[in-house]
Amino acid sequence: MPLPTIEWEGDINGRIRLIDQTLLPTELKFVYCEDLKSIWHAIKTLMVRGAPAIGIAGAMGVVLGIKEIQVKDADTFLKELKHVTTYLGSSRPTAVNLFWGLARMERVAQENKNKSVQEIKEALLQEALKIQNEDKVICRQIGENGADFIKDGSGILTHCNAGGLATADYGTALAVLFKAKEQGKHIKVYADETRPLLQGSRLTAWELMHAGIDVTLICDNMAAHVMKLRKVQCVIVGADRIAANGDTANKIGTYSVSIMAKEHGIPFYVAAPVSTFDLSIKSGNDIPIEERSPEEVTHGFGKRTAPEGVNVFNPAFDVTPAKNITAIITEKGVIKHPSIENIQRLLGKHIHRTT
């Protein structure tokens, strides 16, 4: 139902088609990347963004890169491949999923090094498609597992963009809403605009409208009033990192929303793949919070809207304590009342396969 964020078109000599997210929501434009340089540029300039989507873009980028390697010998091919992955890695050096995707591609090449170059190339294309497909399956499963929490006729609040644009096509928090819609439920979504970068108004509102879901945009500071008016019956958000005890780092403002939900007796759900859990982190106190440029706040929309020289505090994330979370919805199942024990119970079975 959602529009595909990134797709491979054709065979081993094909190309990548992606939505240029920098132009949303005013323009929906598909960009076609035919060579290595163009996908590098697309990743660099945030035409494609969101952790899983970047991983897929990197893997598909490798396939574009190897089109240009015209050697017959596998050893030479593998050396050339290394140049391709190093180059792609330089597009967004802090994106963990990019390196994860590139490493998977290198591993597959190694595993096939006794085959012909043509066969290795084929294996690499298949791996890129597999990475994309795995992400789709995970997102669909999160949608399945979460949709039961969405009642017909209910209102749902979401914050930031945990949608298809950040993944292969279906998202995490929004996957639950897409699935509920597919089940024929009538839902009404309230999307926080999500200052400073407005992912809610630019991306979430756009995605939901394209999926035919009734969406109403609000400013972040209106959410409590919306809850008081009983316009929403639950909150659902994504996650950037989840600690071993269930404390969840997500886009700044998520913590506020969790407090308001608690105050109004509204369930608060987190939807995220199992890979979001970082069991090396004991609790939310140990999650580092990135602080970003003051200009995001003072020049939000190109135009200065704050006094020159004003101090700005611009944390990109905050941490919602596990006690504020009704349940964490993953592709492997739902963790109600998240705690070390409840998380271990679900992850114990799956953690080795997913990290």
Nearest distance from C-beta of residue 233 to its own copies, angstroms: 16
Site for its own copies contains 205 (CB under 8 A): yes
Nearest distance from C-beta of residue 213 to its own copies, angstroms: 11
Nearest distance from C-beta of residue 222 to its own copies, angstroms: 6
DSSP-derived secondary structure letter, 315 = B
Site for its own copies contains 154 (CB under 8 A): no
Which residue among the candidates 135, 192, 240, 318 is catalytic per the annotation?
240
278 catalytic? Reply is no
Q: Where does this chain touch its own copies (CB under 8 A) — which range of 5-13, 84-92, 204-212, 273-281?
A: 204-212
Burial of residue 232 (number of CB atoms within 10 Å: 0-12, 13-18, 19+): buried
Instruction: Extract the tokens encoding 295.
Output: 């200009």
Site for its own copies contains 267 (CB under 8 A): no
Q: Where does this chain touch its own copies (CB under 8 A) — which range of 6-14, 64-72, 292-300, 330-338?
A: 292-300
Site for its own copies contains 209 (CB under 8 A): yes
Cβ distance to its own copies smaller for residue 17 or 210 = 210
Q: Are 231 and 155 in contact (CB under 8 A)?
A: yes
Site for its own copies contains 65 (CB under 8 A): no
Q: CA geometry: angle at 47 spanning 41 and 52, to 5°?
A: 100
Q: Are 125 and 62 in contact (CB under 8 A)?
A: no
Site for its own copies contains 246 (CB under 8 A): no
Site for its own copies contains 314 (CB under 8 A): yes
Q: For residue 22, give Cα distances in angstroms to 44, 55, 262.
A: 11, 18, 35
Q: Are 43 and 33 in contact (CB under 8 A)?
A: no
Cβ distance to its own copies smaller for residue 188 or 350 = 188
Tokens 């799956």, residue?
A: 350
**Rounded CA separation 348/155 (Å):** 34
Q: Residue 255: which of 297, 287, 298 has the closest Cα? A: 287
**Rounded CA separation 120/306 (Å):** 55
Write the interaction track for its own copies spanning residues 7-46; mark x where CB under 8 A is met and - where it is not.
------------------xx--------------------
Q: Where does this chain touch its own copies (CB under 8 A) — which range of 11-19, 53-61, 125-133, 307-315?
A: 307-315
**Rounded CA separation 194/349 (Å):** 35
Number of residues binding to its own copies, judged by CB under 8 A = 57
Q: How crowded is residue 315: how many other Cβ atoms within 10 Å of its Cβ?
A: 11
Report, as residue numbers or ranges, the catalytic residues. Answer: 240
Name the site residues for its own copies (rule: CB under 8 A): 25-26, 159, 190, 192-196, 198, 201-202, 205-206, 209, 214-226, 228, 252-253, 255-256, 259-260, 262-263, 297-298, 300-315, 318-319
